Copies of this chain bind each other. A is one copy, B any other.
Amino acid sequence: MDEYLEAAINEAKIGLQEGGIPIGSVLVHQGKIIGKGHNKRVQQKSVTLHGEMDALENAGRQPASVYQESVIYTTLSPCPMCTGAILLYGIPKVIIGENRTFMGSEKLLRENGVEVVVVNDPTCVKMMEEFIEKNPSLWNEDIGEP
């Protein structure tokens, strides 16, 4: 498997071990991981630190040129908020572990010229299926559903 998707999955697993929602992400600039992150809703009571947001946050303040040469990997299809962050910073490519358990704003990404690759990796699918089955209300909270 792609080493960067593997690193994103590893972040998701760290989140799960912490009692959190297993979604991870890494930001890759010219082949180097410059930010790793995972969903922090449970751990930090954060409503903004989805996996992708946490990876961006941990990459720190970067010039626009760095984002524009980067690829973001995420284990799950990006929600509207994470999609908006990708568009704000002009990240040109998103690699998505899976979109079977949740379909994010991939259409909006593509409409804005972002290259979107969906791997549909079985590990990512299984991790979310098991989590959602055990924690339906927590999962609904994370995606703004009643």
Q: Give A contacts to B, CB under 8 Å.
A: 41, 45-49, 53, 56-57, 59-65, 67-68, 79-85, 87-90, 105, 108, 140-141, 143-146
Chain B residues contacting A87 (CB-CB under 8 Å) are 80-81, 84
A43 vs chain B, min Cβ distance (A): 12
Residue of B nearest to A143 (CB): B88
CB distance from A39 to the nearest CB of B (A): 13
The listed residue with most B CB atoms (<10 A of its CB), out of A48, A57, A82, is A48
- Which residues of B have CB within 8 Å of A48? 48-49, 53, 56-57, 85
| Bound form: Cα–Cα A108–B109 in Å | 13
User: Do residues B105 and A64 form an inter-chain contact, with CB atoms below 8 A?
Assistant: no
Number of copies: 2
CB contact between A144 and one of B67, B83, B105 (< 8 Å): that residue: B67
Given contacts A47-B56, A80-B84, 5 further A-B contacts (CB under 8 A): A45-B60, A47-B57, A63-B146, A64-B144, A88-B143
Choose from B47, B105, B140 the contact partner of A61 (Cβ within 8 Å).
B47
> Contacts A56-B48, A57-B46; is A141 near B83 (CB within 8 Å)?
no
Report whether B144 and A90 are in contact in the complex, using a CB–CB cutoff of 8 Å: yes
- Give the distance to chain B from A42, nearest Cβ to Cβ, in Å: 9
Q: Cβ of A108: which chain B residues have Cβ within 8 Å of it?
A: 108
- State the CA gap A68–B68 with chains docked (Å): 34
